[in-house]
Amino acid sequence: MQEVIRMMENYVNSFMQYFGTLRALLPLAAAVICLLVFRKKLLFAGKILTLLVGLVILLYNPLSQVLWRKLLEQHVYWRSYWLLPVIPMFAYVFTELVWMQQQSMRAVVIAAGTAAAVYGGGNMYSRESGYFTRAVNVYKLPDESCRIAEYIVDNVGETLALVPDSLYCYLRQYSSKIDLVYGRNIDGFTSVVLSKSLHKLHGLMWQPPYKVKRILRRAKKRGCEIVIFRADWEKTVDPSECGYELLETIGKYEIYRWSEQAAT
């Protein structure tokens, strides 16, 4: 029973992760209802409805999602909702409905459709959406990450770096000269990292306080030249005591580099 409840919770969470709010379903529901009501008058209504039924059977039901979650990563299943032709379907139905009306009624239908789209939509940059932020540079990456990557490339060059989770998705996008001890695959995004030692190192970097000696000992063993810590997290000892000297502080991050001189 608990497994069934967990399965339904995963299904609902994936559904809401894509749509955000139930009101976002309004344009989709309105388009489907119109396709059903006017299926004989709309040229592509039958094909679109067949597509929707196929997607529901193959993807969007609690039973099939169990299969897909085994084939895909747990956090990837919700992206299957991208296959839903929500916007093209709404645009098609909206356009056809406008042209089906007499000239005097077209303005009313346009107003109703626009109101449904506005009510069902929202600001993609809002905190509630959580998935989008406005671009602050040509790289479309967080500015702080770009400054860190640029500093490393200019002052260190090609290197191996150990960085917090909040950075590993961005530094390699800025420059391939920065190799990482681990990237987002440590969380199983596209492939599973089997190394237990890497997972232990990731766990040490995951939460404060930083157990500096253990972290830097493992980093040095892997030939890691650069280690980046969050400046606002407590450290058990100063990294300089372990052979890593502070190069620069950028934003809320401290950049350390292995130094033979500091080690002695």
Tens of pLDDT, residues 142-194: 899 999 999 999 999 999 999 999 998 899 889 989 999 998 888 766 667 77
Residues 52-92 pLDDT 10s = 888 888 877 777 777 776 676 656 676 777 778 888 888 88
Secondary element (H or E) of residue 31: helix 25-37
On the 0-12 / 13-18 / 19+ scale of CB atoms within 10 A, 91 is middle
* Average pLDDT across the chain, whole number: 83
Dist CA 171 CA 198 (whole Å) = 19
Report pLDDT for 79: 72
pLDDT at 253 over 80: yes
Q: If pLDDT is split at 50, 70 and 90, which confidence band does 246 have?
A: very high
Give me the amino acid identity at 207: Q
Report pLDDT for 189: 67
Q: How many CB atoms lie within 10 A of CB 100?
A: 13
On the 0-12 / 13-18 / 19+ scale of CB atoms within 10 A, 128 is exposed
Q: What is the mean pLDDT of residues 126-132?
A: 61
pLDDT at 211 over 90: yes
Q: Check: CB of residue 177 under 8 Å from CB of residue 158.
A: yes
Dist CA 73 CA 80 (whole Å) = 12
pLDDT at 1 over 70: no
For residue 194, give Cα distances in angstroms to 180, 191, 197.
16, 9, 9
